[in-house]
Amino acid sequence: MQDSSFLAKLVTDADRDGVQRLVVGAIVQHEGRVLLLQRPSDDFMGGIWELPSGKVEPGETLDQAVTREVKEETGLDVVGIGHYLGEFDYRSGGGKNSSQFNFVVKIAAATPVMLQEHDQYAWTELTEEPPVTDAVKKVLLRYQQA
């Protein structure tokens, strides 16, 4: 698990920088592959592939949020949170300045994946360029280098 003071500093720094929405993202890996989810075509940035991710709820810590979001979006249980892989900023569909904080997570088991908010999932080898945004590509590159 991540150090709570480090996680609190990330939140404090984001607040100081005017971030309006905190988001967490997870690198879920199994047997050398990373789990990617495809957004519904009628959603904000519809059709793109992304990491399991979502908003941090009021009163929730970043590590609590990443555990909850992975469970909500995939049905998978997080049993550990490893490396912090940095954040990226973007403007949400509602126009809010957002920062996504990304972590490597360990899961109890890789199956079954039960999608709640996405159309498809894929366990992707990172030997080729994945079909994700440039920001997520940078996170995946940091993951490969860690």
State yes or no: pLDDT of 122 exceeds 80: yes
How deeply is 81 buried, as exposed, middle or buried, from its count of CB atoms within 10 A (0-12, 13-18, 19+)?
buried
Q: What is the model's pTM? A: 0.92
Structure tokens given for 104: 């490597």
Q: Is 123 left (phi over 0), alpha (psi -120 to 50) or beta?
A: beta
Q: What is the set of domains in the chain, with CATH numbers?
A: 4-145 (3.90.79.10)
Give 60-74 pLDDT, tens digit per residue.
999 999 999 999 999
> How far is residue 49's CA from residue 4's CA, in Å, rounded to a whole number?
30
Query: Which runs of consecutive H residues, i.e. helices, occur in 17-133?
Result: 62-74
Give 9-37 pLDDT, tens digit per residue.
999 999 999 999 999 999 999 998 999 99
